Amino acid sequence: AQTVTQSQPEMSVQEAETVTLSCTYDTSENNYYLFWYKQPPSRQMILVIRQEAYKQQNATENRFSVNFQKAAKSFSLKISDSQLGDTAMYFCAHLNNNDMRFGAGTRLTVKP
Amino acid sequence: NAGVTQTPKFQVLKTGQSMTLQCAQDMNHNSMYWYRQDPGMGLRLIYYSASEGTTDKGEVPNGYNVSRLNKREFSLRLESAAPSQTSVYFCASSEEMTGIYGYTFGSGTRLTVV
pLDDT tens for B49-107 read: 998 889 999 999 999 999 998 999 999 999 999 999 999 999 999 988 788 889 999 99
Under the banding of pLDDT at 50, 70 and 90, the label for residue A51 is very high
Span of A2-6, A76-80, B42-46 with lowest mean pLDDT: A2-6
pLDDT at B85: 97
The helix, strand and coil proportions of chain B, stated in percent and rounded to the nearest 5, come to 5, 50, 45
pLDDT higher than threshold 90 for residue A22: yes
pLDDT at A98: 77
Q: Measured between alpha carbons, how far is B30 from B101 in angstroms, rounded to an integer? A: 13
Q: Which amino acid is at B109?
A: T
Query: Contact B40/A104, CB-based, under 8 Å?
Result: yes
Let me know if B93 is exposed, middle or buried by CB neighbors in 10 A (0-12, 13-18, 19+). Answer: buried
The dihedral through the CA atoms of B23, B33, B35, A6 has a sign that is negative
For residue A47, what are the contacts with CB-CB under 8 A and spacing of at least 6? A35, A36, A37, B102, B103, B104
Q: Which residues of A touch B45 (CB under 8 A)?
A: 99-101
Under the banding of pLDDT at 50, 70 and 90, the label for residue B2 is confident
Q: Measured between alpha carbons, how far is A5 from B93 in angstroms, rounded to an integer? A: 24
> Who among B41, B50, B90 is closest to A98 (CB)?
B50
Q: How far, in Å, are A20, A87, B58, B79 from residue B62 at the CA level?
A: 37, 34, 10, 11
Q: Which amino acid is at A48?
A: V
Q: Measured between alpha carbons, how far is A18 from B103 in angstroms, rounded to an integer? A: 27
pLDDT higher than threshold 70 for residue A1: no
Let me know if A96 is exposed, middle or buried by CB neighbors in 10 A (0-12, 13-18, 19+). Answer: buried
**Averaged pLDDT of chain A:** 94
Under the banding of pLDDT at 50, 70 and 90, the label for residue B40 is confident
- Residue B101, min C-alpha distance to chain A (Å): 8
**B40 at interface of A, judged by CB pairs closer than 8 A:** yes
Q: Please tell me which residue, B106 or B1, carries the higher pLDDT value.
A: B106
Contact B59, B3 (CB under 8 A): no
pLDDT at B3: 94
Mean pLDDT of B27-43: 93
**B99 at interface of A, judged by CB pairs closer than 8 A:** yes
Span of A57-61, A67-71, A98-102, B101-105 with lowest mean pLDDT: A98-102
**B27 at interface of A, judged by CB pairs closer than 8 A:** no
pLDDT higher than threshold 70 for residue B1: no
